[in-house]
């Protein structure tokens, strides 16, 4: 029997005495999170009994004494131990998968990793892959590093994922719409790949080849809308369940694919047929691999966790963003189907390993409603409708992030330069940006909150437009930091102005 000391970790304690799990959960309400297998596999490896006593607000000596008494009382209880061990098997699967992926990042050959997976882990679910990625990120591995080798990760566990049936949904449900679109996307990517392999057409130099290449590339450009819907609606819904790792990694891959599409188009425009063929081959492969990850990992994760009400909100936001490939074939189902938990209280009842929510993705509660018809603004008094319409009609787009980093408002202008949907409200601003931009967002907000900066600005050229983006620190009259105002403006026409106009001229 191992010695139990203040420095014994929760993980080691439960590995030696599995029956102590129920005892600890009942011992103190603060230990209830130990019921989550993945939590025991992550925090349990770090937290010692000394730390646990501090967290629980119990005296260390008394805590150790009670544990020893329970061990003496339960010794030989094979039935209880066997019941807890089944949960530990699930935990070990995630831990072993994490260890395997870490070795892959250290240079282990993919075939060796796959053989080891088949010998030790054998099976894996989308939830367990999500748990693994969550743990890697929270252990400090950069999202970009996971993103760099994510295709290798999937190839190692692909046989196990293929053994699970793909999730299905009825027409009108977002899952159904995504899957139908993915069939179209796959067909387009395969067409592009075939074109880039076909060297019989005058070594890629024939006008017919380039015209067909451009046609497929234009049709495939709809993936930007496909990815925007995921980023603005599906990812925020998953974040509310503490599932952030797979979304962060996938968003980074989205941006890589967008970059590959731009590169392919630039090669074609410059008349570099061989370069276009190479870029098109890479783009086609990346797009097909993303379809696989959506169908086999992301959609099952969402299916397992989102409620009927949450899916309805996703559908509403996606309707606002529109559909490039496939619009929903029916209205959203009025009654909960067999897609995920029917009610919020059922959301945690799914099978498989629970995700290790060390710190769930932050989501701010919405402010309470009010019957006030007018708003006093210090220099005037406006009705709520007047204020709303005034903000909508400004020749700029504005968004407001509060002092805690949550998106509280965006102006719903008719034509937006950057898409926003109601799914952004209450979402933490760091989760509204791709991984490569998060460090800049964080720096701006930290400098604003500390009072070190008041303005940050950027300008970019996009689709023939010159876009000016500014961030302003918003402070109270007492100089208390209230949040950040983002102002985005198309200044293309303003930059082109010359001379003067002193008389009214209607456009």
DSSP secondary structure of 94-111: HHHHHHHHHHHHTT--HH
CA 8 from chain center: how many Å? 35
* 280 phi/psi in degrees, rounded to 5: -65, -40
Q: What are the DSSP calls for 354-382, one per residue?
A: PP--SSPPPBPPPPPP----EEE-SS-EE
More reliable by pLDDT, 505 or 135? 505
- Whole-number average pLDDT of the chain: 79
- CATH architecture of structural domain 174-346: Up-down Bundle (1.20)
pLDDT tens digits for range 362-386? 555 555 545 557 888 878 888 888 8
- Residue 120 pLDDT greater than 70, yes or no: no
Return all residues near 261 (Cβ < 8 A) that are at least 6 apart: 217, 220, 221, 223, 283
Question: Following DSSP, what letter does each residue of 391-460 receive, concatenated?
Answer: HHTSSSEEEEEETTSBEEEE---SS-SS---GGGTTBBGGGGS-GGGHHHHHHHHHHHHTTS-SEEEEEE
pLDDT band (50, 70, 90) for residue 263: very high
Cα torsion 181, 187, 192, 197 to 10°: value is 150
Higher local confidence (pLDDT), 437 or 475: 475
CA dihedral 84, 86, 91, 92 (to 10 degrees): 120
Q: Which DSSP string do the residues of 127-186 spell out, in sequence order?
A: HHHHHHHHHHHHTT--HHHHHHTHHHHHHHHHHHHHTSPPP---TTSHHHHHHHHHHHHH
CB atoms near residue 419 (< 10 Å) = 16
Parts of the chain belonging to CATH 1.20.120.520: 174-346
Q: How many percent of the chain have pLDDT more than 70? A: 74
Closest CA to 412 of 425, 398, 429, 430: 398
How far apart are alpha carbons 339 and 256 in whole angstroms? 31
pLDDT greater than 80 at residue 354 = no
Taking the C-alpha atoms of residue 285 and residue 41, their distance in angstroms, rounded to an integer, is: 35
Partner residues linked to 48 by β-bridges:
9
Task: Record the tokens describing residue 301, joined without a space.
Answer: 């994760």
Q: What is the CA radius of gyration of the chain?
A: 27
- 15: pLDDT strictly greater than 70: yes
Tell me what the mean pLDDT of segment 101-125 comes to: 68
Range with lowest mean pLDDT among 72-81, 82-91, 223-232, 320-329:
82-91
Q: Give domain 374-495's CATH number out of 3.10.20.30, 3.40.1230.10, 2.20.25.10, 3.30.450.20.
A: 3.30.450.20
Contacts of 49 (CB under 8 A, 6+ apart): 4, 5, 6, 7, 8, 9, 10, 13, 60, 63, 64, 67
What's the CA gap between 411 and 291, in Å, rounded? 33
| Numbered ranges of CATH 3.30.450.20 in the chain | 374-495
């Amino acid at each position: 029997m191992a010695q139990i000391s203040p420095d014994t970790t929760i993980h080691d304690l439960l590995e030696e005495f599995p029956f102590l799990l129920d005892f600890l959960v009942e011992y103190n309400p603060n230990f209830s999170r130990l019921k989550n297998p993945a939590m025991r596999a992550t925090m349990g490896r770090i937290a010692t009994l000394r730390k646990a006593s501090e967290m629980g607000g119990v005296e260390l000596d008394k805590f150790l004494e009670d544990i020893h008494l329970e061990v003496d009382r339960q010794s030989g209880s094979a039935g209880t131990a066997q019941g807890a061990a089944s949960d530990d098997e699930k935990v070990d699967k995630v831990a072993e998968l994490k260890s395997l992926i870490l070795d892959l990042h250290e240079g282990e050959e993919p075939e060796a990793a796959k053989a080891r997976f088949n010998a030790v882990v054998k099976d894996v679910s989308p939830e367990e892959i999500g748990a693994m990625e969550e743990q890697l990120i929270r252990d400090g591995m950069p999202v970009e590093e996971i993103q760099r080798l994510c295709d290798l990760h999937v190839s190692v566990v692909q046989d196990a994922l293929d053994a699970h049936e793909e999730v299905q949904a009825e027409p009108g449900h977002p899952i159904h719409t995504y899957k139908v679109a993915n069939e179209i996307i796959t067909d387009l990517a395969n067409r592009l790949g075939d074109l880039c392999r076909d060297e019989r057409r005058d070594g890629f130099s024939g006008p017919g080849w380039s015209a067909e290449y451009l046609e497929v590339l234009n049709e495939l450009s709809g993936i930007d809308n496909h990815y925007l819907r995921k980023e603005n609606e599906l990812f925020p819904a998953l974040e509310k369940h503490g599932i952030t790792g797979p979304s962060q990694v996938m968003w980074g891959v989205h941006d890589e694919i967008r970059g590959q599409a731009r590169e392919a188009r630039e090669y074609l425009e410059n008349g570099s047929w061989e370069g276009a063929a190479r870029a098109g081959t890479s783009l086609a492969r990346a797009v097909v691999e993303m379809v696989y990850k959506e169908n086999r990992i992301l959609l099952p994760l969402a299916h397992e966790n989102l409620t009927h009400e949450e899916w309805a909100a996703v559908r509403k936001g996606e309707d606002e963003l529109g559909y490039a490939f496939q619009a929903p074939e029916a209205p959203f189902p009025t009654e909960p189907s067999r897609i995920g938990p029917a009610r919020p209280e059922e959301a945690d009842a799914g099978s498989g390993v629970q995700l290790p929510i060390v710190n769930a993705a932050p989501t701010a509660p919405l402010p309470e409603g009010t019957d006030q018809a007018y708003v006093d603004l210090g220099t005037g008094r406006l009705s709520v409708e007047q204020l709303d319409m005034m903000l909508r009609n400004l020749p700029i787009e504005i968004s407001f992030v509060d002092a805690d980093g949550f998106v509280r408002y965006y102006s719903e202008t008719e034509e937006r330069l950057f898409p926003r949907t109601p799914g952004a409200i209450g979402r933490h601003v760091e989760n509204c940006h791709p991984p490569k931009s998060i460090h800049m967002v964080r720096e701006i907000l930290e400098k604003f909150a500390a009072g070190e900066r008041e303005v940050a600005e950027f300008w970019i050229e996009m689709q023939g437009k010159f876009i000016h983006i500014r961030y302003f620190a918003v402070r109270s009259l007492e100089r208390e930091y209230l949040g950040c105002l983002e102002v985005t403006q198309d200044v293309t026409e303003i930059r082109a102005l010359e001379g003067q106009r002193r008389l009214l001229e209607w456009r």
